Amino acid sequence: MIDLRSDTVTLPTPAMREAIARAEVGDDVYGEDPTVNRLESMAAEIVGMEAAVLVPSGTMGNLAAMLAHCPRGTKAFLGAQAHTYVYEAGGAAALGGIVMTPLRNLDNGELDLDELRDELAKPPDAHFALPGLVALENTHNLCGGTAVELSHMAAVAELAHAHRLPVHLDGARIFNAAIALETTAKKIAETADSVSFCLSKGLAAPVGSLLCGSREFIGRARRMRKMLGGGMRQAGVIAAAGIVALETMIDRLVEDHLNARALAEGLGLVAGLNVRPVKRRTNMVVFEVDGGAPAAAKFAAAMKDRGVLAHARGPSSFRAVTHHGISRRDIDRVVAAAAESAGEVFGD
């Protein structure tokens, strides 16, 4: 199978398995796992922040961040298409009493700045929940994996900080963003007060995300991690793979971007498929199938028969994600399979 559903399907590399086997470990809830401590220092350094904490998932990283930033009953402003708003089971509202306040997301992943400005201009009237946080996402998953411009992040941060609000960045794929923006993760994180990123997506580690911020903030986030059940004991076995991921898997993401570009170009030539354009493509291609849900279901089945899996994003919309397990030859096979499948569905 050529599995393009997500970069989360990546498997740990042989070097990761070896590092896991050799990992020096201790009880991380006591702060005594040397491998976790090393990974957390590396993570903080990479994004230019004081400290970091290892969490089991990106979802927990974002949730611990929101809980640490926002008192109960305060508003977290975030994009209506944000992963944290759409795909994290409403955790911040359910567990933190946080009023998630969605703002319009533009197609390029940016927030509607006017809407944010209007929200922040509301008087501290007793009718309104007080603002607590502004959250950004880069790369932006639901906006086709596009990298979001640094200038936009800076504009959001300026507004938030003028109102004494912290900014959290969901940087699940921050290294993909850095490549697409021709900059560094540190530069991207500069505008944020906290950032989370995933080891278990394009970087191919089996488990784990890092939440990074000031020493004081990470201290509070550690308590939230414990509260959420994310305090892990000999977590060095996870961290060991994460260290290999940070040391060896970041630079190769550029291959995934080239493959995604080739895939977008190839699928764009197939009659019956419409590839969604993105401002700054990373490792995702979103495309629609003509003819609505029935045609799309037939197309997906025909692709599966030819050994290709994509993620159904809507009734007639699919997402294909390139990653470590996908080669350039696979892309050629996918494009050929798509041409055949579309021929089968729409008739040649």
Ligand X SMILES: *Cc1c(COP(=O)(O)O)cnc(C)c1O
Q: Strand, coil or helix: what is 173?
A: coil
- The yes or no reply on residue 57 touching ligand X (CB under 6 A) is yes
State the minimum distance, in angstroms, from the CB of residue 200 to ligand X.
Answer: 6
Q: 92-125 b/e with 16+ CB inside 10 Å = b?
A: beeebebbbbbbebbebbbbeeeebeebbeeeee
- Among 28-36, 52-60, 182-190, 297-305, which window interacts with ligand X (CB under 6 A)? 52-60
Helix (H, G, I), strand (E, B) or coil at 258: helix
Is residue 146 involved in binding ligand X (CB under 6 A)? no
Task: Report if residue 311 touches ligand X, rule: CB under 6 A.
Answer: no
Determine whether 271 is exposed, middle or buried from the number of CB atoms within 10 Å of its CB (0-12, 13-18, 19+): exposed
Helix intervals (H) in 70-189: 83-86, 91-96, 113-120, 150-162, 174-180, 185-189
Q: Which is nearer to ligand X, 59 or 282 (CB)?
A: 59
Question: Radius of gyration over alpha carbons of the chain, in Å?
Answer: 21
Nearest-CB residue for ligand X: 58
CA dist 115 and 132 (Å) reads 16
Q: Is 198 one of the binding residues for ligand X (CB under 6 A)?
A: yes
Q: Which is nearer to ligand X, 108 or 274 (CB)?
A: 108
**Which tokens is 169 given?**
């960045």
Stretch that binds ligand X, among 54-62, 108-116, 120-128, 161-169 (CB under 6 A): 54-62
**172 lines the binding site for ligand X (CB under 6 A):** yes
> Binder to ligand X among 69, 75, 83, 281 (CB under 6 A)?
83
Looking at the Cβ atoms of 222 and 319, the one nearer to ligand X is 319
Alpha-carbon torsion (250, 312, 79, 126), positive or negative: negative
Q: Count the residues of the shown chain that bind ligand X, applying the rule CB under 6 A.
A: 12
**Residue 256 contacts ligand X per CB under 6 A:** no
* Residue 194 touching ligand X (CB under 6 A): no
Q: Could you say which of 176, 194, 209, 316 contacts ligand X (CB under 6 A)?
A: 209
Chain position carrying tokens 């906290």 = 194
Give the binding site for ligand X (CB under 6 A).
Answer: 57-59, 62, 83, 137, 141, 170, 172, 198, 200, 209
